C-alpha cells in the first residue's frame, strides 16, 4: 500500500479550482492506499490572517474533506498544528535547503511581489521547508496536488536526496501526482490567470449560492469565434470551461469536445453550469449537514492521535541519524 498525502491551507474561501485540482481526487485513493489528508494551518499564517477567519476556514476545510467523500475510518484527517513533529522536522530540514532554492520558488516570488520587502515574513520564505517536512514525516510517496504545488514537491525530492546522501536511506522520495485534466483551473473573468482563493470576483467559491455559480458561468469570459474547441492559446476561456466540464464529468477533453460539436457558446455554458450546480449542490448539502455537527472535532481529535504516532517514528529516525542526543 502506498502512502498518499495531501493538504489544503485554510486561507480564503476554497474555489472550484481547489475542488477540481485537489479535493475531489482525494477520496479516490482511500480504498487501496494509506491516505493522510490534513489542514495546513501553519501554512495559513504565512500571510496575515484574522484569527476568527482562520478558525472558521479550518472547520470548513475539515467539513469539505468529509463532504467530498473522505471517510475517517479509511484515512487519517488531521490538523497540522496539532502534530508537533511538523514544526520540529522543519527546524531540522531548514539546514539542508539553500536560500537560493527558496528564493527561486515561483509561489514565493508571486506572493512576495505584492508585499513591501519589509513585510515579507520569514514564514513565507521557509514555507517549502515546512511543506517538505509535512510530506517526508509520513514517508508519503504520492502527493496529489494541482500544478502550482509541483515545484514544492520537486524541492522536497531534492531535499530528500541531499539528506539521504549524507545519512543513508532514511527519507522516502515523494512524487507529485497531477491530473491530466484540471490541474490548473483558470479564473472565469480572466482565463489567463489562475483561479484563486484570494480573488473576490470571477471565481467560483465552493460555498457560493447555486444561482450565483450559474450566473458566474453564464457570464464567463469567452473568446472570439463560435466553435467549442480546446485551444489554450487562442481560446483560453472556452478551454477553461471545457476543462471544468470534462473534470467534473470525469471524461477526457476530446470526449467533452465531441459532445458540443455544432453547439453555440450559450448552449455549452448552460451545460457547464448544469453539471457544476449539480455537483456543488450535492456537495454543499453534505457540507451543511457536517458543519453544524460534532463530527469535525471528533475526526480531528482521532486524526491527531494517529498522525502524532506515525510522525514520531520518522522524526526519531532523523534525529538519531543526524546525531541529536537523547532520542527517546
Ligand atoms: P493550497 O491550499 O493553495 O491549494 C490546495 C490544492 O488546490 C490546488 N489548486 C488548484 N488546482 C487547480 N486549479 C487551481 N486554480 C487551483 N488552485 C489551487 C493546489 O495545487 C493544491 O493541491 N502548499 C499547499 C498545501 C500543503 C500541501 C502540503 C500539499 C501544505 N503541505 C503537503 C501537499 C502536501 C497549498 O498551499 O495548497
Ligand 1 centre from 7 Cα, in Å? 7
CB 94 within 8 A of CB 129: yes
Of 12, 19, 8, 18, nearest in space to 281 by CA: 19
Distance (Å, whole) CA 173 – CA 91: 19
Q: Is 8 in the pocket of ligand 1 (CB under 6 A)?
A: yes
Distance (Å, whole) CA 58 – CA 43: 12
* Closest residue CA from atom 37 of ligand 1: 8
For the stretch 243-278, pLDDT in tens is 999 999 999 999 999 999 999 999 999 999 999 999
- Residue 56 grid cell: 472558521
* Closest residue CA from atom 33 of ligand 1: 6
Tell me, which fold does domain 210-289 have in CATH? Answer: Tyrosyl-Transfer RNA Synthetase (1.10.240)
Distance (Å, whole) CA 327 – CA 319: 7
CB-side neighbour CA atoms (13 Å) of 210:
12
pLDDT of residue 326: 66
Ligand 1 centre from 159 Cα, in Å? 20
Strands 142-144 and 175-177: parallel
Catalytic residue from among 28, 74, 111, 249:
111
Query: C-alpha 3: how far from its chain's center?
Result: 17
Q: Is 7 in the pocket of ligand 1 (CB under 6 A)?
A: yes
For the stretch 132-162, pLDDT in tens is 999 999 999 999 999 999 999 999 999 999 9
For the stretch 98-139, pLDDT in tens is 999 999 999 999 888 888 777 889 999 999 999 999 999 999
Distance (Å, whole) CA 85 – CA 313: 10
State the distance between the two ends of the chain, measured CA to CA, in whole angstroms: 28
For the stretch 222-231, pLDDT in tens is 988 899 999 9
Radius of gyration of the CA atoms of the chain, in A: 21
Q: Is 311 in the pocket of ligand 1 (CB under 6 A)?
A: no
Q: Is 79 in the pocket of ligand 1 (CB under 6 A)?
A: no
Calculate what percentage of the chain has a pLDDT beyond 70. Answer: 98
Active site residue 221: no
* Closest residue CA from atom 16 of ligand 1: 17
Please tell me the pTM assigned to this model: 0.96
Active site residue 111: yes
User: Who's near 163: CB < 8 A, 6+ residues apart?
Assistant: 93, 96, 170, 171, 318
Architecture label for domain 3-182+294-322? 3-Layer(aba) Sandwich (3.40)
Distance (Å, whole) CA 77 – CA 299: 7
Q: Give me the residue spans of the domains in the chain.
A: 3-182+294-322, 210-289
* Closest residue CA from atom 1 of ligand 1: 8
* Closest residue CA from atom 31 of ligand 1: 131
Helix and strand element counts for the chain (H, E)? 13, 5
Task: Report the atom number in ligand 1 closest to the C-alpha of 147.
Answer: 20
Q: How long, in residues, is the chain?
A: 328
Among 12, 19, 21, 111, the mutation site with the greatest number of ligand 1 atoms within 8 A of its Cβ is 21
- Strand order through the sheet with 34-39: 75-79, 34-39, 3-8, 142-144, 175-177
Of 6, 48, 305, 29, nearest in space to 156 by CA: 6
Q: Is 9 in the pocket of ligand 1 (CB under 6 A)?
A: yes
Catalytic residue from among 74, 173, 197, 221:
197
Query: C-alpha 207: how far from its chain's center?
Result: 17
CB 136 within 8 A of CB 174: yes
Quickly state the pLDDT bin for 325 (edges 50, 70, 90): confident
Region of residue 202 (left: phi > 0; alpha: psi -120 to 50; beta: else): left
Fold match, 3-182+294-322 / 210-289: no
Amino acid at each position: 500500500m502506498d502512502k498518499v498525502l495531501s493538504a489544503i491551507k485554510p486561507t480564503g474561501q476554497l474555489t472550484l479550482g481547489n475542488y477540481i485540482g485537489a479535493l475531489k481526487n482525494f477520496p479516490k485513493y482511500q480504498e487501496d492506499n494509506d491516505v493522510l489528508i490534513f489542514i495546513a494551518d501553519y501554512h495559513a499564517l504565512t500571510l496575515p490572517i484574522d484569527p476568527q477567519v482562520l478558525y472558521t476556514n479550518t472547520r470548513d476545510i475539515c467539513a469539505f474533506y468529509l463532504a467530498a467523500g473522505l471517510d475517517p475510518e479509511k484515512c487519517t484527517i488531521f490538523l497540522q498544528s496539532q502534530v508537533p513533529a511538523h514544526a520540529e522536522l522543519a527546524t531540522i530540514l531548514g539546514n539542508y535547503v539553500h536560500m537560493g532554492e527558496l528564493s527561486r520558488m515561483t509561489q514565493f516570488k508571486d506572493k512576495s511581489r505584492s508585499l513591501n520587502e519589509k513585510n515579507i515574513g520569514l514564514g513565507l520564505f521557509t514555507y517549502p521547508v515546512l511543506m517538505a517536512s509535512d510530506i517526508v514525516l509520513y514517508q508519503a510517496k504520492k502527493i496529489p496536488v494541482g500544478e502550482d504545488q509541483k515545484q514544492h514537491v520537486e524541492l522536497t525530492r531534492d531535499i530528500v536526496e541531499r539528506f539521504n546522501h549524507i545519512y543513508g536511506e532514511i527519507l522516502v522520495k515523494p512524487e507529485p501526482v497531477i491530473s491530466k485534466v484540471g490541474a490548473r483551473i483558470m479564473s472565469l473573468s480572466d482565463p489567463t490567470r489562475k483561479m484563486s482563493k484570494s480573488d473576490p470576483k470571477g471565481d467560483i467559491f465552493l460555498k457560493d449560492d447555486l444561482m450565483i455559480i450559474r450566473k458566474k458561468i453564464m457570464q464567463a469570459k469567452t473568446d472570439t469565434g463560435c466553435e467549442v474547441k480546446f485551444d489554450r492559446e487562442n481560446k483560453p476561456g472556452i478551454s477553461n470551461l471545457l476543462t471544468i466540464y470534462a473534470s467534473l464529468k470525469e471524461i477526457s477533453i476530446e470526449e467533452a469536445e465531441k459532445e458540443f460539436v455544432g453547439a453555440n457558446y450559450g448552449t455549452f455554458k448552460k451545460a457547464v453550469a448544469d453539471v457544476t450546480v449539480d455537483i456543488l449542490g450535492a456537495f454543499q448539502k453534505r457540507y451543511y449537514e457536517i458543519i453544524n455537527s460534532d463530527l469535525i472535532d471528533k475526526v480531528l481529535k482521532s486524526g491527531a492521535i494517529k498522525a502524532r504516532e506515525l510522525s514520531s517514528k520518522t522524526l526519531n529516525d532523523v534525529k538519531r541519524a543526524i546525531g541529536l542526543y537523547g532520542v527517546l
